[in-house]
Chains A and B, each alone.
Chain A
Amino acid sequence: SQQGEEDPQALSIQEGENATMNCSYKTSINNLQWYRQNSGRGLVHLILIRSNEREKHSGRLRVTLDTSKKSSSLLITASRAADTASYFCAPQTGANNLFFGTGTRLTVIP
Chain B
Amino acid sequence: DAGVTQSPTHLIKTRGQQVTLRCSPKSGHDTVSWYQQALGQGPQFIFQYYEEEERQRGNFPDRFSGHQFPNYSSELNVNALLLGDSALYLCASSHGTSVYGYTFGSGTRLTVV
Q: Which residues of A contact B (CB under 8 A)?
A: 3, 30, 33, 35, 40-45, 48, 88, 95-103
Interchain CB contact under 8 A, B99 and A48? yes
Question: Are B42 and A45 in contact, with the CB atoms below 8 A?
Answer: no
- Decide: B45 and A99 in contact? CB cutoff 8 A: yes
Contacts from B to A (Cβ < 8 Å): 4, 31, 33, 35, 40-45, 48, 55-56, 88, 90, 92, 94, 96-97, 99-107, 109
In the complex, what residue of chain B is closest to A100 when comparing beta carbons?
B42
**Structural contact, A33 and B101, CB atoms closer than 8 A:** yes
Interchain residue pairs A-B with the least CB separation, the first 9:
A42-B104, A45-B101, A100-B42, A43-B104, A42-B106, A102-B42, A100-B43, A33-B101, A97-B48
| Residues B106 and A96 in contact, CB atoms below 8 Å apart | no
With A and B bound together, what is the CA distance between A49 and B43 in angstroms? 21
Q: With a CB–CB cut-off of 8 A, which chain B residues contact A40?
A: 88, 107, 109
Distance A42 CA – B88 CA, assembled complex (angstroms) = 9
Known contacts: A48-B99, A96-B97, A103-B42. The answer to whether A42 contacts B4 by CB under 8 A is yes
Cα A62 to Cα B94 in complex, Å, equals 24
CA distance A35 to B102 in the complex (A): 9
CB distance A101 to B31 under 8 Å?
no
Query: Would you give the shortest CB distance from B37 to chain A, in whole angstroms?
Result: 9
Q: Are A45 and B88 in contact (CB under 8 A)?
A: no
Closest-by-CB residue of B relative to A101 is B42
